[in-house]
Amino acid sequence: MKLNKYIDHTLLKATATKEDIIQICKEAIAHNFFSVCVNSCYVTLVKEQLKNSKVKVCSVIGFPLGAMSTKAKVEETKQALKDGADEIDMVLNIGFLKSNDFDAVSKDIKAVKKVMPEYTLKVILETCYLEESEILKASALAIHAGADFIKTSTGFGTGGATINDVKLMQSVIANGNTKIKASGGIRDTKTALAYIQLGVDRIGTSNGIAIVTGTTSEENNY
């Protein structure tokens, strides 16, 4: 199995420098990963670094809390696309979900999808903060609002992907076309394979090299 094309090679730390971003672009090209995933201020740099490769550019939006205004998320999305992003990973408004304001959660996602109809939108649920019933509801809302993928985690919450959470997300997708991205805490080949065998289409990780080479990485925590 070719693991490299499942991987969004990710660097989202606040301390990430331009040099760090250039380095992960080089790694992504060397290993032919699916994409490089960064904060939106680095999309232009990543696009430039990847211009002669097939590696895509992924930008996070409303990261990591999801608590920005919808207008702010929409504008950040527009700018990221203008700068060269191919895919967007937006954080769902977790507080609205927990307030049972499902209409607001849905409108937030729809507003972002509306400005990127031809692009891939992944909606991050941040499952570590959600009860099982909330994971089911968040998945349904995101799918209905036009998400191409539902994603487990930012990697900045209290926990990352779990097999159980992914199974819950899958139960909502049922026979639909929405895909799943598992992220947070996936650091080795065995773990990555467990998610892929479960049916996950994408892995978000800063440990992509360890996953494809079968080594282990201690320092990267996403």
Residues 6+ apart with CB under 8 A from 9: 24, 27, 28, 31, 33, 35, 36, 37, 55, 205, 206, 208
pLDDT band at 1 (very low <50, low <70, confident <90, very high): confident
Q: What is the dihedral of CA 39, 122, 64, 7, to 10 degrees?
A: -60
Residue 186's H or E segment, with its range, is none
pLDDT band at 193 (very low <50, low <70, confident <90, very high): very high
53 has a pLDDT exceeding 70: yes
Task: Return d(Cα 109, Cα 40) in angstroms, integer.
Answer: 18
pLDDT band at 125 (very low <50, low <70, confident <90, very high): very high
**Structure tokens of 131?**
């009860």
Task: Return d(Cα 109, Cα 32) in angstroms, integer.
Answer: 30
**What's the pLDDT tens digit per position in 129-167?**
999 999 999 999 999 999 999 999 999 999 999 999 999
Catalytic residues: 89, 151, 181
pLDDT band at 216 (very low <50, low <70, confident <90, very high): confident
Spell out the alpha helix ranges (H) of 174-216.
189-198, 208-213
Question: Is the distance from CB of 183 to CB of 161 less than 8 angstroms?
Answer: yes
Task: Return d(Cα 46, Cα 14) in angstroms, integer.
Answer: 16
Residues 6+ apart with CB under 8 A from 178: 142, 143, 147, 148, 149, 150
Question: Is the distance from CB of 36 to CB of 9 less than 8 angstroms?
Answer: yes
The pLDDT of residue 217 is 66
218 has a pLDDT exceeding 90: no
**What's the pLDDT tens digit per position in 19-32?**
999 999 999 999 99
Structural domains in the chain, sorted by start: 4-213 (3.20.20.70)
